Every structure is written in structure tokens, then in C-alpha cells.
Amino acid sequence: MRTVLAAIVALVLTPPFAAIVSLAAALGVPERPGGIYWWIPRAWTRALLWAGGVTVRVHGADRMGTGRDSRIFASNHVSWYDVFVLAATLPRYAFVAKAELLRIPIFGAGARAVGTVPIERDNRKSAFASYEAAAEQVRGGRPIIVFPEGTRGRAYALRPFKKGPFVLAIAAQVPVIPVVVYGTMAIMPKGAWRIRPGVVDLHLLEPVPTAGLTYDDRDTLSGTVHARMAEVLEREYGVAPAAGTEVPPPPRATPESTAQAPPPASTTPDVRV
């Protein structure tokens, strides 16, 4: 029943919503807080959460920002519903997404209109050009969402991270917000089409600064973000890191870094979506 309802919602809302934002972009309608490029993606994804019977509990809601903050959200990825949860919760963002998604008729045009950055994962040169385009957006004050594992996994244990998102963060000199999404595998795991209702916990962790970092620090930055996310998954849900995952090197001191470890993520949700 939930699967059918979600399919109906997607079929009914995607064409008009995509047409509206595409027309607005073609006419040069400027972006403003709470404007069309903000509320349409949120309304679309919240409708899909409603259809799927999904409730989101947000931990660390103060780290969402205002939608005009230069920051990068780096999230784990095990389900399509990770995308819907993030899009329904954050006030404004742009995704870095695999290019084939933007080739889907109607949906692709709408995704481009709201700022989604396509990435050709099998073309290294093209991928880094996409990350540079994303860096321009985030420097201009638009938060970016990345999935550094590269694609959806079949378990919550974190897999090794791609380096591109962290090269992006260093190039833009903006903080990285580690994000842990838990509960979406029970709703719609990779390879499944059936949707089941459930509760998803969204953890927004302490920002990792990049001021003063260089390209040579990309592995350290990646390892630090990976370790913080893995620590929350293990502490809160008993998920051990994936076999073969390397322990990150200690972070290099920067003007914005501190010697103190970040406070543990709260187990009490701040907001429900």
C-alpha cells in the first residue's frame, strides 16, 4: 500500500513541480530564502515521506544552518530514502549526484533547475570539474550534500570514502558536517522497490573545519569525517566499521581546530519531521 501511494505521489507531483522550477530558472527568477527553489524540493520530498509513512527524528538540528551557510554535509548512504530525508529536513541545499539521474526525463530538468550538480563517476577529469562547479556554489552560500561512499550500500557499516568530496571542501575552505542517517534500510533497502513505514534518525554532527588545509590534507580530512560518523553508528546502533577500513591519521592542527574532541551526538531528537 505504501509503495503504491508513494508511486502515485511521485507521478502526480513530479511533472508540475519540475515544470515550475524549470520555467522559473529559464525566466531567471532569482533565488531568495523560502522562495520557489526552496519550498518545491522540500514539499516534494515531504510528500514522499508522508506517502511512505516515514517520520524523521533530527539530532543536532542547530547544525542545519539557515540554508545560506557555506558548508558541506557528508552523509552515509544505504537507501533512496536517505535523499528524501535530507531534502525534506535541510532548508536549502544542492546535491552532488550521479549524472545518469539527471538524464531522467522531467525529473532531471527539475533537479538541474534547483542546483543539483551532476557527476560522471567513471570519468575522473569530469568528476573533478563537477566538484569545482559545486565549490563555486558553496562559496556563494549554498550548502552542498555529498555521499562520500559513492553509492548506496547494503549495510550500515561505513565503506571507504571517495576523495573528491574532501577535495571540494578544501578547495572551498568550508566546514564539513558529518551526517549519519539510520533507519532507511528498513524502509527501502538497496535493490528493493517495496516501501515500509518507519522512523529515521538523522544525526548532524560537529563541523570539521577546513580553514588552512591544502590538497595534501584530503586523506586526513576524509579520515576524520569517517571516524566521527563510524563512532556514532557504533555507539548508538552497534554498527561496527566495515572490515578493512583504515584508521584515519591524526588531524593536522589548523587555526580553527581545537585539541578537544567534539561532544557526543545527542541521543534525544531536537526536531521531528
Q: What is the pLDDT of residues 177-216, one digit of tens each?
A: 999 999 999 999 999 999 999 999 999 999 999 999 999 9
Cα–Cα distance for residue pair 205/233, rounded to 1 Å = 12
Residue 102 lies in a domain: yes
DSSP 174: -
Share of the chain above pLDDT 70, in %: 88
Query: Among 34-43, 55-64, 132-141, 208-217, which is the least confidently predicted range?
Result: 132-141
Residue 263 has pLDDT above 80, yes or no: no
Question: DSSP string of 178-199?
Answer: EEEEESHHHHS-TT------EE
Q: How many CB atoms lie within 10 A of CB 101?
A: 15
On whether residue 272 sits in a domain, the answer given is: no
Tally the residues of the chain. 273
Residue showing cell 563517476: 121
Confirm whether 158 is domain-assigned: yes
d(CA 35, CA 213): 34
State the average pLDDT for the chain: 88
The residue among 73, 58, 61 whose CA lies nearest residue 142 is 73
Q: Is 268 inside a domain boundary?
A: no
Q: Is residue 52 domain-resident?
A: yes
Q: Which helix (H) or strand (E) holds 233?
A: helix 218-237
Predicted TM-score of the model (pTM): 0.88
pLDDT in tens, 84-128: 999 999 998 989 888 888 889 999 999 999 988 888 766 777 777
Could you count the other beta carbons within 10 Å of the beta carbon of residue 155?
12
Give the residue numbers spanning the domain of 78: 2-254
Residue 100 CB coordination number (10 Å): 11
- Between CA 186 and CA 256 the distance in angstroms is 39
Answer whether residue 259 is part of any domain: no
44's grid cell: 516534494
264 located within any domain: no
Grade residue 260 by pLDDT with cuts at 50, 70 and 90.
very low
The number of domains in the chain is 1
- Residue 263 placed within a domain: no
223/233 Cα distance (integer angstroms): 15
CA 205 to chain centre: 13
pLDDT band at 174 (very low <50, low <70, confident <90, very high): very high
At 218, which CATH number? 3.40.1130
**204 in Cβ contact with 239 (< 8 Å):** no
